[in-house]
Structure 1
Amino acid sequence: MKKINVKKGAVLQRKGDISSRVYLVESGLLRSYTIDEKGKEHIFMFGPEHWLVADSCEPNTPCQLFIDAIEDTIINIALKEDLLKEGPDLNALLRRLNTMQNRIIMLMSSNAKERYEHFIKTYPNIIQRVPLKMVASYLGITPEALSRVRHDLSLEK
């Protein structure tokens, strides 16, 4: 693995890139996302400390996601093929798979309040680290809907 420092805002991967890189976040915060044909951003996942961030594209296939740094970040970069040769960190891979599975189920079956509460549980420290616009994008709701959810939850306390 090669360790590098990445500045906030740096784009590590663009949609359409041919890439088999895996990013292990040592410190800082990455995100992966896509932009639809209308120009709307949809955040797939956040990658805080000790998380793996990668596009699941096959070798020699264009990637579907952008990956960028939300904060100054230290990452370790490896090629997927090299990681598999060495033996994957199964705990990290399983955690990522579990997070993605829970996210898909949540998006299919939960209301905005439940999604926000799940976000807070999954990413307890990220809410202070990213703009609420990004949180809304991740949840699949508008920033105004997120504001209403946060307001309603504050009234419940």
Structure 2
Amino acid sequence: MFESFKQYILERSTISESDLLKIEAVCQYKKLRKKQYLLQEGDVWKYNAFIVKGCLRTFHVDDKGNEHILNFAIENWWTGDRESLQSGLPSIYNIEALEDAEIILITKDNFDQLCKEIPAFNDMINAILQKSFVASQGRIQTFLSLGAEEKYQRFIEKYPQLALRVPQGMIASYLGITPETLSRVRKNRTK
């Protein structure tokens, strides 16, 4: 499992073999079955999680029992609850495997230590966080200003692989529209 993570790191930074060994030494490996949770609401999130294989979703269930999907994560993406990780407070999110998954976990303390000891790793992580922040801003802007058809169009353009791997009802939840609206949008696209 580490080989995939090593390749990911080497594609994004220049890190020595001895530093890669330091990283590998703190990696924990976890396999999830489809529908198994990586995080459940009320638990404190303590890791940085890298997806080696599979697809996961982060979601919240509101007081009415409606699911609201915050994001999806597939191979070579990171997932977790940054707010819970940083604050130590219980998470309001669930992270569930939509497919069988393989994940690398690094505890917060070990991750912070790697960032201190390996400047190239720290630079890589900062670049990832900046890219993630920009993506979040774009998602908020899309959510606030676009109609259902434009939201779906942007989703399939930006994440064509997710459109094939994720059930339509979950895509609707992610886009903040009803499954019926998504069905109508998809039907209109085929005309």
Length-normalised TM-score, structure 2: 0.76
Find out whether 1:53 has 2:79 as its counterpart.
yes
Find out whether 1:106 has 2:142 as its counterpart.
yes
- Equivalent residue in structure 2 for 1:62, among 90, 113, 120: 90
Is the Cα–Cα contact under 8 Å of residues 31 and 68 in structure 1 kept in the other structure? yes
Q: State the partner residue of 1:133.
A: 169
Unaligned runs of at least 5 residues, structure 2:
1-26, 116-121
Higher helix share: 2
Is the Cα–Cα contact under 8 Å of residues 52 and 93 in structure 1 kept in the other structure? no
CA distance in 2, matches of 1:33, 1:22: 17
The Cα of 1:98 is off from its aligned counterpart by 2.3
CA distance in 2, matches of 1:23, 1:68: 13
User: Residues 84-128 of structure 1, C-alpha deviation per residue, up to 9 Å, x if partnerless?
Assistant: 321242343233222222111111111111111111122211111
The structure whose Rg is larger is 2
CA distance in 2, matches of 1:7, 1:83: 25
Sequence identity, in percent?
Answer: 35
- Equivalent residue in structure 1 for 2:46, among 20, 25, 32: 20
Is the Cα–Cα contact under 8 Å of residues 61 and 67 in structure 2 kept in the other structure? yes
CA distance in 1, matches of 2:54, 2:128: 17
Is the Cα–Cα contact under 8 Å of residues 11 and 68 in structure 1 kept in the other structure? yes
Is the Cα–Cα contact under 8 Å of residues 20 and 59 in structure 1 kept in the other structure? no
Structure 1, 42-51 or 75-84: larger mean CA deviation: 75-84
* RMSD across aligned positions (CA): 1.4
Find out whether 1:84 has 2:112 as its counterpart.
yes
Is the Cα–Cα contact under 8 Å of residues 46 and 108 in structure 2 kept in the other structure? yes
Length-normalised TM-score, structure 1: 0.91
The Cα of 1:29 is off from its aligned counterpart by 0.6
Unaligned runs of at least 5 residues, structure 1:
none
Q: State the partner residue of 1:38.
A: 64
The Cα of 1:26 is off from its aligned counterpart by 0.8
- Equivalent residue in structure 1 for 2:158, among 116, 122, 127: 122
Relative to structure 1, the CA distance from residue 121 to residue 83 in structure 2 (aligned partners, 3 Å threshold; closer, same or farther) is: farther
Moved over 3 A (4+): none
Higher strand share: 1
Secondary structure, counterpart of 2:160 in structure 1: coil
User: Residues 9-63 of structure 1, C-alpha deviation per residue, up to 9 Å, x if partnerless?
Assistant: 1111111211222211011111100000000000000001111101122332111
Is the Cα–Cα contact under 8 Å of residues 45 and 90 in structure 2 kept in the other structure? yes
How many residues get paired?
155
